[in-house]
Amino acid sequence: MGNNLDDFDLPCINSDHLDLGGCRELQEESSIVVEDDHLRAKDNLNPDQKFAYDTIVRHVDSNCPGVFFVDDPGGTGKTYLYNTLLAEVHSRGQIPIATASSGATANNMPGGCTAHSRFKIPLILNNNSLCNISKQSGTAQLLRHAKLIIWDEASMAKRQAVEAFDRTMQDIIGVRLPFGGKVMVFGGDFRQVLPVIKKGTRAQIVDSSLRMSPLWPGITKLRLSVNMRARTDPLFSDFLLRVGDGEEDMIDGNFIRIPDEMTIPYTIESETRSKEDLISAIFPSIEMNGTSSEYIISRAILSTKNENVDEINDELISRFSGQERIYYSFDEAEDDVNNYYPVEFLISLSVAGLPPHRLRLKIGCPVILLRNIDPSNGLCNRTRLICRGFQRNVIDAEIAVGQHAGKRVFLPRIPMCPSKNDMYPFKLKRK
């Protein structure tokens, strides 16, 4: 701006402080520290992981284009394989890119970032979409230098997002091969969550899946396997294996009876007692163990409806022995110039994907972050944390999972808006 640092009493900067050799994105990826455990991991790969590792590294070594999909259920070591590949490429002074469809999963890989954030994928997609990356940008330079690109949980991404990235890569690299001739590794499990299409039919959900993309036939499939009996509770895994093999007895041709050892009795007359028994079975002695992060994140109760989740959460929070704090949201309709929607109405709304107006917390209870605040330091969408202290407008929390587990962070008040698909006749902002 034509001024001097001395005019503002700022410290002088010499050339040692400036690195003009590359863009910020390249510098960030080059500065990632490789953990020794990840470097040694290649010696501990099982045969399936070793085959996938050797196949991918062979393509990286020979600069041979290749698109792979690492497929198999959770617990088969996909993330372990990704971290091994990333460490190997980093150790050679080359640049890999680690992304995932969700922030929490991306946080499990060094330098991980969500695919939408890294590749600038549009939120509203069609069959001809392109990513918002210019050829002169730092992201484009990073993609040109990348030797390996990993996209975990690709089974959750819409095929239009993957196709948009493919078209963008071909344009940036200038090579008419899938993904510009880069070594691309997708991962995921189509047995779990498919792309979410709000109020979509089964046909629309299937059509948005990566398996329906024209790219799918040209992708090399790599499968991992694991002995399920060795990784889960024997009673539960034996039951699942019998169901999967078709050996479990059927009732009326459509139903399978869950063994009594795996259930908690429920009656309408004793609904409150049944709920308390469920909580006590999953969270035993929560009053004494509630301060342990490992205890909290190693167990969960799943339910079918939000109202049931709220009831169980309220009961669970009451059992924590820590200090209680209630935060209230500030709600407004941004485009309501005529004040058609009073605050009393706005705070009564229970909006999917947004916290409630009355947020009740206690020290030791778990929370999930709903926004990307600082992904490089572990604060991204779906990160799980444990409350450690409360201030007027800030929550003191500890990251509970991922490579940043144990780090203490501060969560400020965040303005949030519901998805456009919620079809409200006004623009709600909840802070």
What digits encode the pLDDT tens for the residues 261-300? 888 888 777 778 888 888 888 888 887 887 788 888 888 8
Residue 377, pLDDT > 90, answer: no
What lies within 8 Å, CB to CB, of 393 at 6+ separation is 412, 413
pLDDT in tens, 75-94: 678 888 999 999 999 998 89
Whole-number pLDDT of residue 15 = 53
The mean-pLDDT minimum among 25-39, 238-252, 367-381 falls in 238-252
- Expressed in percent and rounded to 5, the helix, strand and coil fractions of the chain are 40, 15, 45
CA distance 56 to 96: 12
Average pLDDT over residues 327-346: 89
* Phi, psi for 5 (deg, rounded to 5): -60, -35
pLDDT in tens, 147-205: 999 999 999 999 999 999 999 999 999 999 999 999 999 998 887 778 888 788 889 88
Sign of CA dihedral 403, 298, 367, 346: positive
DSSP 430: E
Whole-number pLDDT of residue 413 = 92
CA distance 357 to 347: 6
Most confident of 27-36, 300-309, 338-347: 338-347
Q: Which two tokens stand for residue 34?
A: 């490789």
CA distance 22 to 44: 36
The model's confidence at residue 410, banded by pLDDT at 50, 70 and 90, is very high
Between the alpha carbon of residue 274 and those of residues 279, 280, 290, 303, 306, the distances in Å are 9, 10, 21, 14, 18
Whole-number pLDDT of residue 242 = 78
The model's confidence at residue 22, banded by pLDDT at 50, 70 and 90, is low
Of the candidates 46, 160, 169, 12, the one whose C-alpha atom is nearest the C-alpha of residue 97 is 169
Residue type, 286: I
Whole-number pLDDT of residue 297 = 82
pLDDT in tens, 35-50: 888 888 888 888 889 9
β-bridge partners, 148: 96
Residue 134, pLDDT > 60, answer: yes
Whole-number pLDDT of residue 229 = 41
Whole-number pLDDT of residue 21 = 53
Beta strands across the sheet bearing 408-412:
366-368, 384-390, 394-399, 408-412
Of the candidates 353, 300, 291, 352, the one whose C-alpha atom is nearest the C-alpha of residue 322 is 291
Whole-number pLDDT of residue 220 = 93
Residue 20, pLDDT > 50, answer: no
Residue 105, pLDDT > 90, answer: no
* Phi, psi for 409 (deg, rounded to 5): -135, 165
Q: Which of 248 and 18 is assigned the larger pLDDT?
A: 248
The mean-pLDDT minimum among 3-17, 53-67, 104-118, 176-190 falls in 3-17
Average pLDDT over residues 60-69: 94
Whole-number pLDDT of residue 273 = 84
The model's confidence at residue 61, banded by pLDDT at 50, 70 and 90, is very high
Question: What is the percent of the chain with per-residue pLDDT over 90, rounded to a whole number?
Answer: 35
Whole-number pLDDT of residue 164 = 95
Give the global pTM: 0.73
Q: Which of 128 and 103 is assigned the larger pLDDT?
A: 128
Average pLDDT over residues 388-399: 92
How many C-beta neighbours within 10 Å does residue 143 have?
Answer: 25
Whole-number pLDDT of residue 213 = 93
What lies within 8 Å, CB to CB, of 204 at 6+ separation is 197
Whole-number pLDDT of residue 185 = 95
CA distance 339 to 8: 46
